[in-house]
Structure 1
């Protein structure tokens, strides 16, 4: 298998994984609808940053340690679960406290989008890095796509880069798609519903992560 064949084969696997609805998709959609397009892209960039880090970690063996060490995997799982639950409860609590949301395009919404781009990036990065299943995915797949005689680190970076490009393309479609539907989706009631759904998904995902049997 050549390097090009490895990249194309991995792109097929990563592409299928990318379009399956999951936590990353929910976060980007919520950011696009409840915040701003720029905030959503910042969140998507954070998710891609986490993927790159996981890809490099898998290539140099850090993810292999997680796969081999039950204690290390469990500690990361608990940290990730706690983060997901906290993030979800924060959304649910905010929706309970607020009775209204600034209109789309309003001054306050625009300011929030500008001021919190770093927060969006950190949210995306943290969510990805604290999900050990992402690391397990990379350690399970990357070794299968390393051609003979090619640096594993280089391949890990390239494969993670392919995954990020596919994810950003998918997230871009989602973000612009929600932009066209903004008239219906960015009302106060719609945002409360979306935040409630996203918060519930995050809490459920975190609890499932914390309660699943050790691998």
Structure 2
């Protein structure tokens, strides 16, 4: 059982983290603005699912292997960066519907969810974050270490999901208004694609 003081401190720190817009928030906002609230929420859920995988990776030691190998870290990093740039280029060249009132959305919720999982899992910086951050709040004398790590990871995921859902709902509402404007509709794909490409380049340039 995690000590109550430690748990409260952890929740306060994590809440501060998730309220500061980061790459996951930018991805969620971009999807919500261009494809609607439902797709934005699906993106946030995909990021949360990816963080669950990172929690498991930290527990079983996969994250430690990535951290210890510069080559493996670079491979994962460049694959993740290339995937983000690929998504960005697709969004840039995707044709906007001629009719602003058209119901069809560029990306389905299911597709956005899968893409967000892959994007999050292929970010080695997130893997290293979970590996370095979670153990700081684990105390062996408080019980089963694996259970403590999993509890901390799930709390992080839930708070992160709450944050991205709030951003998705806000951006989705704004996006629905913007998509009624033909000029915005024409350029929104390029704007979203630019965000994805920028995040991919940022990831590629990051060091361990």
* TM score, norm. by length of structure 1: 0.84
Residue-by-residue CA offset, 1:69-95 (whole Å, 9 max, x unaligned): 11111111111111111111111111x
Structure 2: where are the runs of 5+ without partners? none
CA 1:3–1:64 in structure 2 vs 1: closer, same or farther (change >3 Å)?
Answer: farther
Preserved CA contact (<8 Å) 1:6 1:147: no
Look up the match of 1:74: 74
- What is the correspondence of 1:45-194 to structure 2 with a 5 Å cutoff? 45-94=45-94, 97-98=95-96, 100=98, 102-103=100-101, 106-109=102-105, 116-149=108-141, 150-182=143-175, 184-187=177-180, 188-194=182-188
Preserved CA contact (<8 Å) 1:56 1:153: no
Preserved CA contact (<8 Å) 1:30 1:195: no
Preserved CA contact (<8 Å) 2:63 2:127: yes
Greater shift in the superposed pair: 49-58 or 3-12: 3-12
Q: Distance in 2 between matches of 1:21 and 1:194?
A: 20
Preserved CA contact (<8 Å) 2:36 2:176: no
CA 1:35–1:60 in structure 2 vs 1: closer, same or farther (change >3 Å)?
Answer: same
Preserved CA contact (<8 Å) 2:100 2:185: no
Residue-by-residue CA offset, 1:22-53 (whole Å, 9 max, x unaligned): 22112211222221222222111110000011
How far 1:135 sits from its partner (Å)?
Answer: 0.7
Structure 1: where are the runs of 5+ without partners? none
Query: How many residues in Structure 1 have an aligned counterpart in Structure 2?
Result: 206
Q: Distance in 2 between matches of 1:7 and 1:183?
A: 39
Preserved CA contact (<8 Å) 1:59 1:142: no
Q: Would you say 1:207 and 2:201 are equivalent positions?
A: yes
Residue-by-residue CA offset, 1:84-115 (whole Å, 9 max, x unaligned): 11111111111xx4364643xx4434xx77xx
Residue-by-residue CA offset, 1:129-149 (whole Å, 9 max, x unaligned): 011111111111111111223
Q: Distance in 1 between matches of 2:52 and 2:87?
A: 22
CA 1:136–1:31 in structure 2 vs 1: closer, same or farther (change >3 Å)?
Answer: same
Question: Residue 108 of structure 1 aligns to a residue in which SS?
Answer: coil
Preserved CA contact (<8 Å) 1:33 1:191: no
* TM score, norm. by length of structure 2: 0.86
Q: Distance in 1 between matches of 2:159 and 2:200?
A: 25
How far 1:152 sits from its partner (Å)?
Answer: 2.9
